[in-house]
C-alpha cells in the first residue's frame, strides 16, 4: 500500500505520522505457523474476530509458552489502514504478556501508544471504532484461548455486526450521550440506519439505538446516585475545593488510573489549590511512574489533557 493510498483513505486532514507509518509498513502483519511455534517451544493459537461481510475482520496468531504467556504475536486483517495500524500496535503490546494482562489492555492505553503527541488524539471521532474493534478482538481471543464460552448478546446493527453488549460497553466506557457518538465508537447505525430508531430505515428491529441509549443512561444515573459518587450539577469553576477534589478524583478513576496501572504505576492527589484563574493539582507518582522518564513529559501531558477536556481548561497538574 502506497503512502498516497493510505492518505486517500483517511477522513482526517492531519493524518498522524505513527498511524501512517504502521498502516504503510506494519511490523507484525502476517501469519505464524506450527513450525514457528515449535521453534519457540510454544503452542500456536489462532482466533478470528469479525466478518469480511461487515468490512472488518481480524485474525490473531499467538504463540503461547507453558505459562500461557504470549511470546509471539502476529495478525491478518481485512479492513482499513487505521485498523491495520491499531492491530499492529496491539500485537506489539501483547508480546511477553499473560492472557490476563492482555485482557487489561484498554482503549486509553492503545490509543495513547498510537499518538504522535500526548495531547493529540490518534484518530478523529468518526474512526474511534477501529481501536475498539481491535480491543474487542483481543477480549474475544483471550476468552477463546482460556476455553471460555463468550456471553451471547443480540446483534443490534446487522450491517456492522455490532451487538448489544458492545454498544452498552461503549456507552459506559466513554460516557456516550448521543446516537452519533455511538456510531463513531461502534459503527452501529452507520449504514442502512434501520437500527437507529423506528422508521429510520427500510426494516424494523427489536432493538433500537435510541432506546438502548435512553435506558442505559437512566440506569447509569441511578447507579451514580446510589453509590454517592454523583458530582455537583454545576460548572467546575463554581465548585468548592472539596467538590473540585471529588470531581478530579472521579475523572482520574474513570479515565486515567487504568493507563498508569497497566505500566505498573499509579498516582495520588496531594492537594488542590486555586491560583487566580487556574486550579493547580499537586500529585505524587507511585510505583513505576515515580521513576519513569516520561512522568514529567508524555504522561503528565496526557493526565493534564484529560482533566482539561473533562473538567476545565485552566487545570494545571504539578507533580511533586
Q: Cα–Cα distance between 83 and 129 in angstroms, integer?
A: 9
Q: CB-side exposure of 183: number of CA atoms within 13 Å?
A: 15
Average pLDDT, the chain: 89
Q: Is the dihedral of CA 83, 85, 86, 92 positive or negative?
A: positive
pLDDT tens digits, one per residue of 280-312: 999 999 887 877 777 788 888 889 999 999 899
Residue 108's pLDDT band (cuts 50, 70, 90): confident
3-state helix, strand, coil in the chain (%, to 5): 50, 20, 30
pLDDT at 152 over 50: yes
Read off the pLDDT of each residue in 99-116 and give the average, rounded to a whole number.
Answer: 89
Task: List domains and CATH numbers for the chain.
Answer: 3-146 (3.90.1010.10), 155-227 (no CATH), 236-319 (3.30.300.130)
**Measured torsion, CA atoms of residues 109, 114, 120, 123, in degrees rounded to the nearest 10:** -100
Give pLDDT, residue 6.
41
More confident residue, 90 or 260: 90
More confident residue, 299 or 159: 159
Contacts of 22 (CB under 8 A, 6+ apart): 84, 85, 88, 89, 114
Q: Which residues pair with 60 in a beta bridge?
A: 47, 75
Q: Cα–Cα distance between 280 and 259 in angstroms, integer?
A: 22
Give pLDDT, residue 217.
94
Give pLDDT, residue 228.
61
Residue entry with cell 505459562: 67
Identify the DSSP state of 148: P
Q: Is the dihedral of CA 19, 98, 140, 135 positive or negative?
A: negative
**Least confident span in 9-18, 106-115, 190-199, 245-254:** 9-18
Residue entry with cell 492527589: 269
Residues of the chain above pLDDT 90, percent:
64
Contacts of 41 (CB under 8 A, 6+ apart): 65
Q: Write down the pTM of the prediction.
A: 0.71
Residues of the chain above pLDDT 70, percent:
92
Amino acid at each position: 500500500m502506497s503512502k498516497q493510498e493510505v492518505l486517500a483513505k483517511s477522513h482526517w486532514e492531519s493524518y498522524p505520522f505513527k498511524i501512517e507509518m504502521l498502516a504503510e509498513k506494519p511490523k507484525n502483519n502476517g501469519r505464524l505457523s506450527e513450525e514457528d511455534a515449535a521453534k519457540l517451544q510454544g503452542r500456536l493459537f489462532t482466533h478470528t474476530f469479525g466478518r469480511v461481510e461487515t468490512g472488518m475482520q481480524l485474525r490473531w496468531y499467538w504463540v503461547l509458552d507453558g505459562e500461557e504467556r504470549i511470546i509471539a504475536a502476529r495478525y491478518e486483517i481485512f479492513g482499513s489502514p487505521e485498523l491495520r495500524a491499531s492491530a499492529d500496535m496491539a500485537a506489539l503490546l501483547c508480546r511477553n504478556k499473560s492472557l490476563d494482562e492482555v485482557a487489561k489492555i484498554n482503549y486509553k492505553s492503545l490509543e495513547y501508544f498510537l499518538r504522535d503527541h500526548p495531547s493529540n488524539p490518534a484518530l478523529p471521532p468518526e474512526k474511534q471504532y477501529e481501536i475498539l474493534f481491535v480491543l474487542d478482538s483481543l477480549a474475544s481471543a483471550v476468552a477463546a484461548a482460556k476455553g471460555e464460552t463468550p456471553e451471547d448478546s443480540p446483534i443490534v446493527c446487522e450491517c456492522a455486526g455490532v451487538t448489544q453488549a458492545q454498544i452498552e460497553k461503549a456507552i459506559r466506557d466513554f460516557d456516550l450521550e448521543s446516537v452519533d457518538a455511538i456510531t463513531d465508537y461502534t459503527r452501529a447505525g452507520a449504514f442502512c440506519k434501520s437500527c437507529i430508531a423506528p422508521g429510520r430505515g427500510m426494516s424494523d428491529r427489536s432493538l433500537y439505538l435510541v432506546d438502548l441509549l435512553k435506558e442505559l443512561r437512566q440506569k447509569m444515573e441511578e447507579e451514580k446516585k446510589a453509590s454517592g459518587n454523583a458530582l455537583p450539577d454545576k460548572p467546575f469553576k463554581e465548585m468548592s475545593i472539596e467538590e473540585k477534589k471529588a470531581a478530579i478524583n472521579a475523572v482520574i478513576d474513570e479515565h486515567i488510573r487504568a493507563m498508569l496501572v497497566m505500566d505498573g504505576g499509579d498516582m495520588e492527589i496531594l492537594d488542590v489549590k486555586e491560583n487566580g484563574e487556574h486550579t493547580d493539582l499537586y500529585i505524587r507518582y507511585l510505583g513505576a511512574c515515580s521513576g519513569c522518564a516520561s512522568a514529567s513529559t508524555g504522561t503528565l501531558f496526557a493526565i493534564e489533557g484529560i482533566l482539561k477536556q473533562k473538567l476545565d481548561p485552566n487545570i494545571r497538574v504539578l507533580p511533586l
